[in-house]
Amino acid sequence: MDSYIEKIREESPTFKNHIYLNHASTGPLHGRTAEALKIFSTLWAETNFEEVDIACKNVKSQFAQLINATAEEIVFTPDVTHGTKLAVNMLEYDEKSNIVCYWNDYPGQVYQALYLKERKNVEYRPVPDKKNEILIEGFADRIDENTKIVLLSHVQWISGYKSDVKEIAKIAHENGAYILVDSIQSTGAMVNDVKDWDVDFLTCGVAKWLLGPNHKGLFYINKKLIDEFYPPFAGYHGTDVGSLDQPYWNVNKLEFLPSADKFMDTNPGNLLYFVANEGLKILLDYGAAKIESRILKLTDYLFERLNELEKIEFISSREKKYRSGIVNARISNNVEIVKRLKEKKIIVSSRYGGIRISPHFYNTEEDIDKLIELLKQYHTKSIS
């Protein structure tokens, strides 16, 4: 076993008692991350607020490294969906406007398209799939000169299907549309490059593959667009209120900050970002390319082992270019089987009639072997 992976597993309380293969749902707190909770409590109790602020700002820099951006292009958000809300509410719409989104994308994406349809009479153009594969032609056929924005998850939450973001972004821009990418099932597991993709906006969180706690988001806006857009919401964290030492804050004139922080309309909350810092360090120390390679190797092995089961149907694509860290296999009685696996401390999810398995880079082939051993027992009984 890779020495770094061995060290990460040794430091994680999760792997002492569990086989955790559910990163598409929630990433477990690593030992270092859990320790950060204690450190935060001590710093806060001792009023070391500046040290906490520095660590939180470092989250932006580290996340920026993972997606090939700059810290000035990153802003904290309450959650992943809030980033999508920011993007769609920055735009101006008229009676000809339309929005394009994969029909079965994560609800946080689709609901924004439905909201615009109902509240602003924007035409919603859902993109179909073909056996869970989202073809580029589906986007090309629906994007036109009246498309305002394309909403797309890089990796789909149900099937794990990985879209060609760069090509879809090209089609969007050729028609004068913007594109927002939801990367929550991708960043930390797959190589992300917003510059190569040429995307306008990206929304993510610090949980799942980024090994941080739930309910905190990160939003990227291309630096070329920061001055172009007026924030859809205003909050003092996104404005220049002046010095705390002056008698009155600047409340007579609205002056937004010059970076992506101008779009920060709520108090970010330091605790969860402080904790997220450690998860990001773990990923950056190993490297995004190595992580992706390792995860794809594990999912190769997972596909191979799952093929040993009878009467199984893959929801996930087996074609390399569409693969990610998510493998979903439809089997009978999936909900009950997931419950029984949990009783044996093997953690996966039931999704869309299948068992969704999502290993991270520190999982092992032995973890998968133990899963398959029990799956063979439970699945055989369910089909007999």
Looking at every residue in the chain, the average pLDDT score rounds to 94
Q: Which of 232, 252, 283 is the last residue of a domain?
A: 283
Q: Angle at which helices 365-383 and 288-306 pack, to 10 degrees? A: 30
The residue range of the domain holding 54 is 33-283
Please check whether residues 103 and 240 belong to one and the same domain: yes
- Residue 314 forms beta bridges with which residues? 329
- pTM value > 0.75: yes
Please check whether residues 234 and 302 belong to one and the same domain: no
H-helix segments, 68-156: 80-90, 107-120, 136-140
Residue 267 has a CB neighbour count (10 Å cut-off) of 11
Joined tokens for residue 341: 């696996």
pLDDT value of position 238: 87
Please check whether residues 275 and 304 belong to one and the same domain: no
Q: What is the CATH number of the domain that holds 334?
A: 3.90.1150.10
Q: What is the mean pLDDT of residues 347-356?
A: 96
Please check whether residues 233 and 116 belong to one and the same domain: yes
The β-bridge relationship of strands 217-221 and 74-77 is antiparallel
Please check whether residues 277 and 291 belong to one and the same domain: no
Please check whether residues 254 and 346 belong to one and the same domain: no
Please check whether residues 272 and 326 belong to one and the same domain: no
pLDDT value of position 243: 62
pLDDT digits (tens, 9 = 90+) for 197-235: 999 999 999 999 999 988 899 999 999 999 999 999 988
Q: What is the CATH number of the domain that holds 219?
A: 3.40.640.10
Question: What is each CA distance from 124 to 80, 156, 179, 359, 366, in whole angstroms?
Answer: 21, 19, 15, 35, 46
CA-nearest of 60, 14, 7 to 268 is: 60
379 pLDDT tier (thresholds 50, 70, 90): confident
Q: Are 211 and 218 in contact (CB under 8 A)?
A: no
Q: Which helix (H) or strand (E) holds 366?
A: helix 365-383
Instruction: Show Cβ contacts of residue 148 under 8 Å, excluding neighbours closer than 6 positions.
Output: 91, 93, 97, 98, 99, 122, 177, 178
Joined tokens for residue 308: 């040993």
Please check whether residues 42 and 138 belong to one and the same domain: yes
Q: Which of 234 and 168 is assigned the larger pLDDT? A: 168
Please check whether residues 104 and 210 belong to one and the same domain: yes
Please check whether residues 321 and 219 belong to one and the same domain: no
Q: Is the pLDDT of residue 29 over 90?
A: no
Please check whether residues 56 and 144 belong to one and the same domain: yes
Question: What is each CA distance from 81 to 101, 106, 108, 191, in whole angstroms?
Answer: 14, 10, 5, 21
pLDDT value of position 110: 98
CA-nearest of 191, 197, 207 to 290 is: 191
pLDDT digits (tens, 9 = 90+) for 175-201: 999 999 999 999 999 999 999 999 999
Q: What is the number of structural domains in the chain?
A: 2
Please check whether residues 298 and 206 belong to one and the same domain: no
70 pLDDT tier (thresholds 50, 70, 90): very high
pLDDT value of position 254: 85
Q: Which of 283, 314, 336 is the last residue of a domain?
A: 283
Q: Is the pLDDT of residue 384 over 60?
A: no
Q: Which of 283, 318, 339 is the last residue of a domain?
A: 283
